[in-house]
Structure 1
Amino acid sequence: MTTAFITLGLFDILDILLVAFLLYQVYMLTRGTVAINIFVGLFLFYLIWLFVTALNMELLSNILGKFIGVGVIALLIVFQQEVRRFLLLVGSRYNISQKFTLDNWFSFEEVGVKEEEVVSIVAACENMSNTKTGALIVITKRTDLFSFAETGQILKARISSSLLESIFFKNSPLHDGALIIANNRIVAARCILPVTDSSNIPGSLGLRHRAAIGMSQATDSHVIIVSEETGNISYIMGGKIKVRITTAELRTFLEGDFSGFIV
């Protein structure tokens, strides 16, 4: 009587699927960054350890095993930004209470901006595009951005096209940095954003674009950019960017229709 060399049960299949899903998520988080090379290197290191262990090469196996033993800590250190990004996205997407607010300025009850504010933002971006005035506008979705807002000047002001243009006017003390919008209000200006480490960004895009992409990767916010060099308007969400959009496209995106969004 012979038995199968490998037996697979329901939980074995589930185990394989879960591991495959986790590896895929790690790949998606590190894709396009220098971290993907580190991840591949660690994976090859693990395969070598399995190989020498199978060959009963005790000395080399013990040496490599010591590194494997602290592998989790090493991964947390190496991929700290990716792990933080993943936890932020999971926490904001599956937030049950949805009550983590500060002075009601980051309430999760309202997502995006209302029609009146959309008109003001589009008008301001159009005027700044015509005058080649650089702008960086972050719109909060569900992630609490107060930690980023407090790096700048807290405003808590109503949205208007004239105020947006005044803030980003080149001689304004608040023009350098990002403006954060939450709950249909301008929460803060001159804010510092995290810069992406992605290597897939075209060289024609400057530091303002890299900061916008980094912010959209670290949080679920959407970001608008007006280029100071060309006057082009760009829209970023989830680390994906659409450049040289029209004001009509900008309004469509702000209204929540992303059917025409191109990576």
Structure 2
Amino acid sequence: MESIKGFFDNLGVTGFVRPSIGFSDFLDILIVAYIIYKIIFWIKETRAWVLFKGILVILGLAAIATILQLNTILWILSNTISVGIIAVIVVFQPELRKALEQLGKGQFFSYFIRNEEEDNQKASARTVDEIIKAVDKMGAVRTGALILIEQEVPLGDLERTGIPIDAVISSQLLINIFEHNTPLHDGAVIVRRNRVAAATCFLPLTDSNEVSMELGTRHRAAIGASEVSDAYVIVVSEETGSISVARGGVLYRDLTMEQLRTMLSQTKKVGKKKLSFWKGRQDK
């Protein structure tokens, strides 16, 4: 106790008295903690979660620099904090805009509602079988398709660009969605936790200049989506019927069904296996 008093005396605080906490203080802390938790949970449902973790790493490095008294690093951080705040606003602009829109519509907290009974398992063997069966049949008749299998990075912002489906995945459902001249055939399908989450989703196109000119918009969208997430993006070419998979900004082309099955079987252990052994063609 004497050491604590001495600490506050050094700060110029005399007569240190232990603060009293009332019911209003407890309620205030509880509300603030709940709001912070919900905001973090909302960010986690979008790709901004990866950026948010990057900011936490920078804050951790700043704390280490403070402890070790790394004055140069502290000087750089202190002189760039104002610019950093503006940069955070720019980086999180889509998420902040969406939050303000939902707040104005009175639907902000609807994004915080989560079904506790959701299966946390990634793509199961049955899901992989149904996807492969659908892709095989669509490739045989040259039906164009674009399927995203969500992994660790949430695809909530991409999902909101499409039409919610929330249906148990089956080959018949996927084939029907991508059938020509149907309302849902244009765009991408997002698969999450063994269910078709949404269809007709818009994907960002890749800006890479190394992409082969023979690839169309569907393949460029697949590469673009794989660049901003860790999803497995399956593409069925409408011109040739060939099967491709985009992963980490790399497109693996002209895959057989067995090769596709091998790749999709890794969706259960994201980050624990690498694709360095893969023998398929690669186009960045």
TM range (shorter): 0.5 to 0.7
Partner of 2:121: 110
The answer to whether residue 156 in structure 2 is matched with residue 146 in structure 1 is yes
Q: Structure 2: 5+ residue runs without aligned partners?
A: 1-79, 95-110, 267-272
> Structure 1 residue aligned with 2:239, among 213, 229, 250?
229
The answer to whether residue 209 in structure 2 is matched with residue 191 in structure 1 is no
State the 1:102 CA deviation. Answer: 5.5
Partner of 1:33: none
TM-score by length of 1: 0.60
Q: What do residues 203-240 of structure 1 show as CA deviations (whole Å, max 9, x unaligned)?
A: 11111111111111111111000000110000111001
TM-score by length of 2: 0.56
Output the CA distance in 1 between the equivalents of 2:265 and 2:244. 16
Letter in 1 for 2:244: S
State the 1:109 CA deviation. Answer: 3.3
1:37-116 matches, cutoff 5 A? 103-104=114-115, 109-111=120-122, 113-116=123-126
Q: Percent identity among equivalent residues?
A: 40
Letter in 2 for 1:260: W
Larger Rg: 2
State the secondary structure of the residue aligned to 2:186.
Answer: coil
Letter in 2 for 1:118: V
State the secondary structure of the residue aligned to 2:142.
Answer: coil
1:237-256 matches, cutoff 5 A? 237-256=247-266
Partner of 1:173: 183
> Structure 1 residue aligned with 2:278, among 252, 260, 263?
260
User: Are the structure 2 counterparts of residues 261 and 143 from structure 1 closer, same or farther at C-alpha, using a change threshold of 3 Å?
Assistant: farther
State the 1:241 CA deviation. Answer: 0.9
Q: What do residues 13-60 of structure 1 show as CA deviations (whole Å, max 9, x unaligned)?
A: xxxxxxxxxxxxxxxxxxxxxxxxxxxxxxxxxxxxxxxxxxxxxxxx
Cα RMSD for the two superposed structures: 3.0
Output the CA distance in 2 between the equivalents of 1:169 and 1:114. 25
Letter in 1 for 2:120: E
Output the CA distance in 2 between the equivalents of 1:241 and 1:171. 27
Partner of 2:9: none
CA contact (8 A) 1:101 1:144 kept: no
Partner of 1:203: 213
- State the 4+ residue runs in structure 1 displaced beyond 6 angstroms: none
CA contact (8 A) 1:216 1:223 kept: yes
Q: Structure 1: 5+ residue runs without aligned partners?
A: 1-68, 85-99
State the secondary structure of the residue aligned to 2:234.
Answer: strand
CA contact (8 A) 1:235 1:243 kept: yes
CA contact (8 A) 1:212 1:236 kept: yes
Letter in 2 for 1:138: L
> Structure 1 residue aligned with 2:142, among 118, 132, 135?
132
Letter in 2 for 1:228: E
Output the CA distance in 1 between the equivalents of 2:228 and 2:125. 27
Letter in 1 for 2:220: R
State the secondary structure of the residue aligned to 1:163.
Answer: helix
State the secondary structure of the residue aligned to 1:186.
Answer: strand
Letter in 1 for 2:126: E
Letter in 2 for 1:223: V
State the 1:103 CA deviation. Answer: 3.3
Letter in 2 for 1:175: H
Output the CA distance in 1 between the equivalents of 2:246 and 2:279. 10
Output the CA distance in 1 between the equivalents of 2:157 and 2:209. 26
Letter in 1 for 2:264: L
